[in-house]
Every structure is written in structure tokens, then in C-alpha cells.
Amino acid sequence: MSVTKYFAEEKIWRSPTEHTWMFSEKANLGRIILEVLNCHSPKVIQISDDSGVRMTNREIASDAEKIAVGLRQRGAKQGDVVGFVARNGSYLTPALIACFYLDLPINALDVTQNEDEIYSIFRITKPKFIFCDDDMVYVAHKILERLQSSAVIVVIGNDVSGDVNIEELMQEGDSDELKKSLFFVNLLTCLLSGVVRVITTAPFSPEIYVNIVEKYKVTHTLISPIYLNSALESTRITPKSFLSLRTILCIGSLTTDDLVRKLGIYALHGKLFIAYGMSELGSIANYLYEPPKKVCVGILAPGNESVVIAENGDRLGPGETGELCFRTPHQMIEYIENPEATKNSFTNDGFFRTGDLGFYSHDGFLHIVGRCKDLIKYFMSHVSCSEIEKVIKTHPGVRDATVVGISDATCYQLPAAVVARRKNFAISANDIYEIVAKNLPDSHKLRGGIYFVDDIQVTSTGKHKKREIEKYATKMFEMLKSNNDYKSA
């Protein structure tokens, strides 16, 4: 296996392979996808677990073409932003492909976000079209009123209060108009061939996930480690549940040694791929896990460069932990309307600062150990939230945990933990406090409290909603203080 190369004079790591384009970097993504779909037209490519609807490549391509024509006839032009607040239903993929074809930037949001959260983002991106489900139409109208926007609301459903239903949009033009403008694209027979997607509009639950894997004999799955861990802990899982899995791709948060151990009990025939990436950078690193090696995120993806920097900005060498910074062929240009955030996110020589703490081993593998942007400052000490979380999760009664900082006038911040218990385990706040106090320095003690919840809030990609969790922990802390139940330690 080729490994990441280290150049000692520059203190820089580079991918063992150069980046190569499968096609011209100026090629239109929508045209490429449509061409490939039409090359494999009879093949079923998508199954809805909700409705049972099976769609072929040709059907998805046809719907995408009709949606593109409908958008164009309603005035869509290159560069117009399209917002999505919709679940993963049958029409979502064709709508996205249509946007790719028309060069319309996409701003996709989670349906679990509230009105203020969606407004704060759309205020910046200023979408000209918004695709949304029935239950989000009212919210979309309220947001457009606040924005004083005339954006078109496209309803993916039956609600008649939107500007247009997606099926009506598809009927507004002849897709032959689109076909005549297609340019020849090299046939990429490997793209989208041989893989059937199973979709659902239901929010993630361990039971639904395990059921889908069993029902469709899923062979490939892309999943957040947090979600995978909850599936492995579910009472729904059996020794036969994951026998069909051949490839498990973990991305979105840290994959732990404990997760790999539990996965090995059920996915007897599956290969575990661990990937590391960011919206701002694209793919950063990946790794086909080879037991019994220690879990890491592998080697740099083609064309990537990396430095590890200390707090004073000095570059670090192999085995030294610091902030991970990267340059990639696909990195972002800027944060929209936020030049200060853009400037602060890059080093002077153009490396993007991820906020992740990590190091490169002497054999060229990348390891992530936590977050420097999530550090808590307790007096003069910097406390790693992830370091505390790892210790808490070693307790057999803990299913999940996250650590946040509670603002304090004297100490700056107090570490606090929000914990989800495993079923049928009796575990107290004192148990959590003691395991942290025993294994970590005094500065890491959970002086901000330990709060138990049924489930920790996560995003659609399985990451902890740190801001919401911090608000909850702060509220609970203040409540205890007002009731004189808080004791400093």
C-alpha cells in the first residue's frame, strides 16, 4: 500500500498519488450523470422503502430532464441558488440532477431545523427556488415573508399552497428541449452502474436501519459512526442482520476501536472503509481498515497536501499532535458573505484550518484525536472535550456522551457532560464524575454537571448538535444553581 509521503524540509505531507480528472474539470456534472443514466436505462437504481416504488435509470433521467425544463421555463438561470428542505423521497434525486444540469448551486437543509435556523441560512444564500415537503410549506412561506423574497416554492407532495407542485413543474415543458442541448460526454460505465439505492423519508432510527439492511440484503452502506454504533446497540439486531454487508463506509465523526470491535461481531463478511472529509475540502483521507491495526483515517486522497501546526503556528513533524490543515483540489473558495470567517479559516500559505487535532504516524497514516476548536478553557488550562468523552464512553453503562463548556465568570468555562444511558443499566452522575476524575487531570473534572437524556441530539449526518446541547446543559446548570442543588468540586 502506498502511504502519505513526508517532506522533512518543508514539514509537509503529500498524497502518494497525483490528482487526475476522470473527465474535463469544466464538464457539467448534470450532463455526465444523465449520459451515464441513459447508458444503463433499464436498470433499477432506486427503491423507496416507504412506498415500494422502484425507479430505473431511465425514469430518474427522464424526471430530471422534465424538472430542468420546468425550472428553466420559470426563469431559472445559471448561478441561481436552489434551496432544499425535503426528505429523501423519490423525486429528490431527479431534482438535484436537474439543478446540476442547469448549473444551479444547491443549499440543502435538514427538515429538523427550525424556522429561525433555516431563515438565518437562506438570508445569506438567497434562494430563487425552494423545494420542500408538504409539512414545510407553511414554514417556507413565513421565511420568504421575512426575507421579502419572491422565490418560487416547489412542493414535493400534495400541498396546494405552494407556487407549484413538482409534478406540475414536470408537465410545464417538453423534455426534448433539454435533450437537444446535450453535449457528448465520455461514457463513464463505472459511474452509477451496479448500485441500487434504498431510500426512506423516515428519520434515522436503529430499528429502521437494521430492518432495511435485512429486508433488501444491503451489500454497501455509508453511515455515520454514531448511527452505526446505535444500530449495533439496538435490541433489533441479530447475529444474521449484517451478514449481507460487504462494504461499510464510515464517515461524519470519529470511528473508534470499540465500534470496530462490535462491528466485527456482526458484519463477518464486510470490509470497513474509514473516510475523512469536510464540506469545505471534499475528500481528505481514507483507509481500508486492516485488523488488528489501530483505527485511523488512513492516507491522503489524491492531490491533497497537509501540514500539522502548533498553537504558535509552527509546523510539526511525525508523531506530534497539532491542528490538521489541508490543501485539496476541491476546496471551497469562500464562506458566502463572511470574509472574516474565510480569512480566519486559512493559513497564510493557503492551508485550510480544520479545527481537528491529530498527527501523522511515522509510517504515514493520519490519526485524529479530537477537536481544538471545541477546547474548553478552564482557568489557564485548555480542556479537550473529546478526551473527556472518550473516558466517559469507557463506562459500560454509557451508550453515548458529549461534553460542552458552561460559561462561568470566575473559571471562564466549566466542563459539563450530557449522557445517554444504555438500557437496563443503573448509572449515576457520581459514577460519571468519578471515572473522569480518576483518569484525567483536575482541570477536566465535570464541574458543570452531568445530565442524563434518553438520546443526544444529532444532525442528519449523525454529528452531535453541540450548540443545542450546550444550551440545554447551561439551562440545567442554571436551574440547579437557582435551586441550590449545585455543588462545586
- Structural domain includes residue 39: no
* Co-location of 276 and 360 in the same domain: yes
User: Please, are residues 326 and 305 in contact by the beta-carbon 8 Å criterion?
Assistant: yes
Identify the pLDDT of residue 92.
92
Question: 128: domain range?
Answer: 57-182
- Structural domain includes residue 294: yes
Other beta carbons within 10 Å of 265:
11
Give the whole-angstrom CA distance, residue 225 versus residue 354: 19
- Structural domain includes residue 367: yes
* Co-location of 341 and 409 in the same domain: no
* Co-location of 256 and 345 in the same domain: yes
Q: Which of 138, 156, 182 is the last residue of a domain?
A: 182
Identify the pLDDT of residue 380.
67
Q: Which of 337, 371, 405 is the last residue of a domain?
A: 371
* Co-location of 193 and 138 in the same domain: no
* Co-location of 281 and 391 in the same domain: no
Q: Which of 330, 352, 371 is the last residue of a domain?
A: 371
* Co-location of 204 and 312 in the same domain: yes
* Co-location of 293 and 160 in the same domain: no
User: Please, are residues 94 and 199 in contact by the beta-carbon 8 Å criterion?
Assistant: no
* Co-location of 99 and 228 in the same domain: no
Per DSSP, the three-state class of 390 is: helix
* Co-location of 233 and 321 in the same domain: yes
CATH number of the domain that 382 lies in?
A: 3.30.300.30
- Structural domain includes residue 438: yes
CATH number of the domain that 272 lies in?
A: 3.40.50.12780
* Co-location of 232 and 177 in the same domain: no
* Co-location of 141 and 259 in the same domain: no
Q: How many residues does the chain have?
A: 489
* CA angle, 180 then 186 then 189, to 5°: 110
Per-residue buried b or exposed e for 401-439, using 16+ beta carbons within 10 Å of the residue's own CB: bbbbbbeeeebebbbbbbbebeeeeebeeebbbebbeee
Give the whole-angstrom CA distance, residue 360 versus residue 317: 8
* Residue ranges for the chain with pLDDT beneath 50: 177-193, 488-489
Q: Is the preceding omega at residue 292 within 30 degrees of 0, hence cis?
A: yes
112-120 long-range CB contacts below 8 Å, 24 or more apart?
Answer: 112/203, 112/460, 113/85, 115/139, 115/142, 115/143, 118/85, 118/143, 119/143, 119/146, 119/147
- Structural domain includes residue 51: no
Q: What pTM did the predictor assign?
A: 0.80
The tens digit of pLDDT for each residue in 399-452 reads 999 999 998 877 778 999 999 999 888 899 999 999 999 998 888 999 999 999
Identify the pLDDT of residue 442.
87
Residue 443 CA neighbour count, 13 Å, CB half: 15
Q: How many domains does the chain have?
A: 3
Identify the pLDDT of residue 25.
67
- Structural domain includes residue 37: no
Residue 365: closest CA among 15, 68, 80: 15
Q: Is the preceding omega at residue 203 within 30 degrees of 0, hence cis?
A: no
CATH number of the domain that 108 lies in?
A: 3.40.50.980
- Structural domain includes residue 23: no
The tens digit of pLDDT for each residue in 37-61 reads 888 788 898 999 999 999 999 999 9
- Structural domain includes residue 333: yes
* Co-location of 407 and 348 in the same domain: no
